[in-house]
Amino acid sequence: MSSTPICTTSRRALAVLTAVVALAAGCSGDDTSGSASTTKARDGSTSSTTADGDGTARAPLDATPVRLVSLDLDANDPIDLAYRSDSTSLLVAERGGTVREAQRAGDGFRFTDEPVIDLTAAVGSTDMERGLLGIAVAPDGEHLYVSYTEASHGDSRIDEYGLSGEDGSLRADPDTRRQLVAIEQPFPNHNGGSLRFGPDGMLYAGFGDGGAADDPEGHGQARNTLLGKILRIDPSAPDGIPADNPFVGGDADLSDAQPLIWATGLRNPWRIDFDPANGDLWIGDVGQNRIEEIDRLVADGDRPAGYGANLGWDLFEGTERFESPDPAPGPASEGPFVTPILTYSHDEGGCSVTGGVVVRDPRLAGLDGAFLYSDFCAGGVRAVRPSTGDSIDTADLGLEIGSVVSFARGPEGEVYVISMSDGVHRIDPA
């Protein structure tokens, strides 16, 4: 994954490698012009996605002018961004294995001389979709979490490191390494790598179906593997398993289910986010070769969003039934399945959705509650927001940026866009 977190190389053409690897796939923007729309249900009916719009009249998303402000950081393949709760610095992850601290300097930022941690010896990043893929900082600021593919076999790992401030700089201590998750990867692609802390203080992690094409081993629907899943991890527990995960104890029919599983049926969840205002879980899930999807899992008040949800892969691609040319053996789930809040086809432009963040930046009031996302091939920044009833509002924000691999919030709720080719930018009012 030197340039893209998502594409199946047997299906999508990867082209020009320049100073930064870029993907050329006939990319034009999809038509998300700001009008309300609905999404077809997975059973083929005309029912739309569930959205709990509060009925508040809002200006159209595309009526909010915004601009990109470059942080001018000399980052090498930036892939993700996080921050410590008691710091104004930003932590920037580079795919090769380093995490660097960007400190405020006047009106801008600058990298400190030494990295927060250098994991290049442990991280395998030679293949297209491997490397250091995601980072997160514990709510109390005491630990840094990294999701990466290890150097020897390309298997996935989530590790924890103690994080502290030394001489005015942030440092993660390599000697405090604690492995939380280890997953054998059968193929080099679809490694996922998203890490986010939920409103319950648990660590959530997204992993792809293991790669190749068409989910040949049926991981998306199989509960005996962590591939093709969202995991929920309790870092304070010795085994990392929250006692209230959906497949912990109980039904004997689920005795083979992995206890870290929170949600199933994902192909390659490339970036997840919790809405800080209401706890909803948003997911950008990359399609096979036809349809990209964004999912919104609504918090029900009794438990965090997404409990036991099934997002449908490899039985569905977006809202369309998916017929694998080589079906995996064994039983497949019959649902119920989550219907995406938004889908778009490759015919409309793009090839690989990059999930983002829900805007709660008071400076961007017109985008409040909107989920921002991009497409690695098409570039730009788009927004989707639940509207009244079952409808959604969508918009292309008119921002020119390519090879987007992540979005993140900063210490004051500001939104950052991370691009392999264009670096790290902040979204500001125009």
- Contacts (Cβ under 8 Å, ≥6 apart) of 388: 53, 55
Which residue type, as a one-letter code, is found at position 96? G
d(CA 88, CA 93): 16
d(CA 236, CA 296): 27
- Domain boundaries defined on the chain: 71-364+404-429
Encoding tokens for residue 194?
């998203």
Nearest to 123 by CA among 95, 99, 101, 163: 95
pTM: 0.88
Which residue type, as a one-letter code, is found at position 157? R
d(CA 377, CA 26): 8
Distances (CA, A) of 100 to 10, 113, 131, 389, 423: 34, 9, 15, 44, 14
d(CA 418, CA 4): 12
Which residue type, as a one-letter code, is found at position 317? E
pLDDT in tens, the chain (430 residues): 333 333 333 322 333 223 333 333 333 333 333 333 333 345 433 223 333 454 456 778 877 799 999 999 999 999 999 999 999 999 999 999 999 999 999 889 999 999 999 999 999 998 879 999 999 999 999 999 999 999 999 999 999 999 999 778 999 999 999 999 999 999 999 999 999 999 999 999 999 999 999 999 999 999 999 999 999 999 999 999 999 999 998 665 667 899 999 999 999 999 999 999 999 999 999 999 999 999 999 998 889 999 999 999 999 999 999 977 776 665 556 679 999 999 999 999 899 999 999 999 999 999 999 999 999 999 999 999 999 888 999 999 999 999 999 999 999 999 999 999 999 999 999 9
Question: Which CATH entry fits the domain spanning 71-364+404-429: 3.40.50.970, 1.20.1290.10, 2.120.10.30, 3.90.1010.10?
Answer: 2.120.10.30
- Residues 318, 293 contacting (CB under 8 angstroms): yes
DSSP lists the bridge partners of residue 206 as 194, 230
Checking phi first, is residue 289 left (phi over 0); if not, alpha (psi -120 to 50) or beta? Answer: alpha
